[in-house]
Structure 1
């Protein structure tokens, strides 16, 4: 039932092929994979699965191909409790991501959007949107992000945006117009540097803060993350864990942060739990393996305090 849904995520669902290399190859260099893992992924899908594991009733809006990969991904989402009735099946290859990393965590990511390119504004059915507590968009086009912001304002919904490659290509002025329609913005350090042409330290983050946002969160890989409300900045704690795979860590981080905000937590607590969620996830291979329940996340935080 639509009225039961608490979180709606909009964006990609992929099949991930995850491999380990001794080193990333140069041009025309042959490199042997130490191992290859096949997992379901895609930023919006990963976010939805993580939210569901944390106890939020979640729906995914996206597109899957009418192929065996699409069937595999949809089956996996349903088994994990995600509401999939808004995933449209299209005559296109399901999205693919090739993810290669080294023992030093150097990483190469190649994506084929495939069926994800078929996502349309018309897929944002208002009957699905109006009852949600949060709309989350991940790696969507600028026009899709704009329309999500417009619809969220219409129904007075809380919204979050995880920036992808297409939005990153916009200039800071155009991107700020889009971000101003959202409540929470997520980006990584590289994205911040690309958009604002400066490093994400406390002064620069406050200087570049989009006025319409409530919260901007920047992940800093092994250094944790920074969150700001435009007046103050908070640095997340870092947790010492064995890193096996960072695929989906940002999606898990965003899901836990959103869960805590929905529950009424302050910025400091939300950031702490989000960092813990990511720390748990990176100990497993694949974007959705090892995701904690709400109780498991709480226990992890308490154990490390």
Structure 2
């Protein structure tokens, strides 16, 4: 099994600890897919040219996630501030002149030839890649994290190109869940998943519903738990094709991530470059 993630890389700056940790939805999912058992995981994104970018690349080297087709620009890395409130990560802003803000990734024929070697591509609403989804779809299946973006205009733009749709739905009302799932299916998505915070997750495959509860754990930090859930689900589902066991494994992965700081570890002192 082979997966590639395309999109964001950042460092999450824990203000209370004066430490930063590598992160970003695409990077987090790639790292966790490799940890969970994908034979090969790769990442394409835009790196800044600072010490933070170097730390992210070093962490990917350690996790055996390749990034050979990534770009680098003369700009600082994305570095959102984070505060922990009872173990829950709360973002408190960050600079707006970063590599993530000023450059959008555009895929070349060489990129597409490379991407076609993989079974699935994961990306998200944080990656500014919507305009590239149609051609990625010709190369492999697409997994897409919408986060809290549930507007119909955005669904219509993204859903026709993807196989897996993931949403963060802790703030959604119960009567919003089925219409969201049904809209995604109408637009061509095969599997729709909505994580619901402490209420677990609701998934649908071609209209058949599945419910997954939260696994008990000692919560230290929720950073990256949703990305770990996605990676766990993709790993188990692509390997075995069974919804129930894939969701159970995904819940285990999310619970484990809550037991340590950062999306996947690798703390570094928070200092000026």
TM-score (norm. length: structure 1): 0.78
Please report the RMSD computed on the Cα atoms of aligned residues, expressed in angstroms: 2.4
Deviations 1:187-227 (A, max 9, x none): 10157x4xxxx546664444444320001111111221111
Aligned equivalents of 2:112, 2:47: Cα separation in 1? 21
SS of equivalent residue, structure 2 residue 53: helix
Q: Deviations along 1:6-62, whole A, 9 cap, x unmatched?
A: 11101111111124xxxxxxxxxxxxx4x3432111111111111111222111110
Cα separation, partners in 2 of 1:200 and 1:136, compared to 1, 3 Å: farther
- In 2, Cα distance between equivalents of 1:203 and 1:122: 35
Please state how far the C-alpha of 1:111 moved relative to its aligned partner.
4.6
Aligned equivalent of 2:73, options 70, 90, 107: 90
Paired residue secondary structure (1:216): strand
Given that 1:9 and 1:61 are in contact with CA atoms closer than 8 Å, whether structure 2 keeps it comes out as yes
Contact 2:46 2:105 in 1 (8 A): no
Equivalent of residue 139 in structure 1, options 90, 113, 125: 125
- Provide the C-alpha distance between the structure 2 equivalents of 1:246 and 1:119, rounded to a whole number of angstroms: 28
Given the alignment, which residue of 41, 45, 51 partners 1:62? 45
- Who is 1:258 aligned against? 234
CA shift in 2, pair 1:38/1:200, >3 Å: farther
> Are residues 1:154 and 2:129 paired?
no
Q: State the partner residue of 1:179.
A: 159
Please say if residues 164 and 192 of structure 2, whose CA atoms lie closer than 8 Å, have aligned partners that are also in contact.
yes
Please, which of 82, 99, 122 is the counterpart of residue 99 of structure 1?
82
Larger Rg over CA atoms: 1
List alignment gaps of at least 5 residues for structure 2: 267-273
Report the Cα offset of residue 106 of structure 1: 6.9
- Does the C-alpha gap of structure 1 residues 44 and 109 become closer, same or farther in structure 2, counting only changes over 3 Å? farther
Aligned-pair CA distance for 1:230: 4.1
SS in 2 for 1:95: coil
Which of 100, 107, 110 is the equivalent residue of 1:116?
Answer: 100
Q: Which has the higher contact order (CA 8 A, sep 6+)?
A: 2
Structure 2 counterpart of 1:234: 210
Q: Verify the 8 A CA contact 1:62 1:116 in the aligned structure 2.
A: no
Q: How many pairs align?
A: 261
In 2: Cα distance, 1:253 partner to 1:130 partner: 25
> What residue number does 1:276 align with?
252
Distance 2:183 2:138 in 1: 27
Asked whether 1:128 is paired with 2:114, we answer yes
What SS class does the counterpart of residue 10 from structure 1 fall into? strand
User: Does the 8 A contact of 2:130 with 2:158 survive in 1?
Assistant: yes
Counterpart position of 2:271: none
- Against the structure 1 CA distance between its residues 58 and 189, is the aligned structure 2 distance closer, same or farther, given a 3 Å change threshold? same
* 1:225 and 2:207 are equivalent in the alignment: no
- Aligned-partner Cα distance in 1 for 2:231–2:258: 15
Counterparts in 2 of 1:136 and 1:92: CA distance versus 1, 3 Å: same
The equivalent of 2:34 in structure 1 is 52
Q: How high is the TM-score relative to the length of structure 2?
A: 0.86
CA distance in 2, matches of 1:233, 1:266: 13
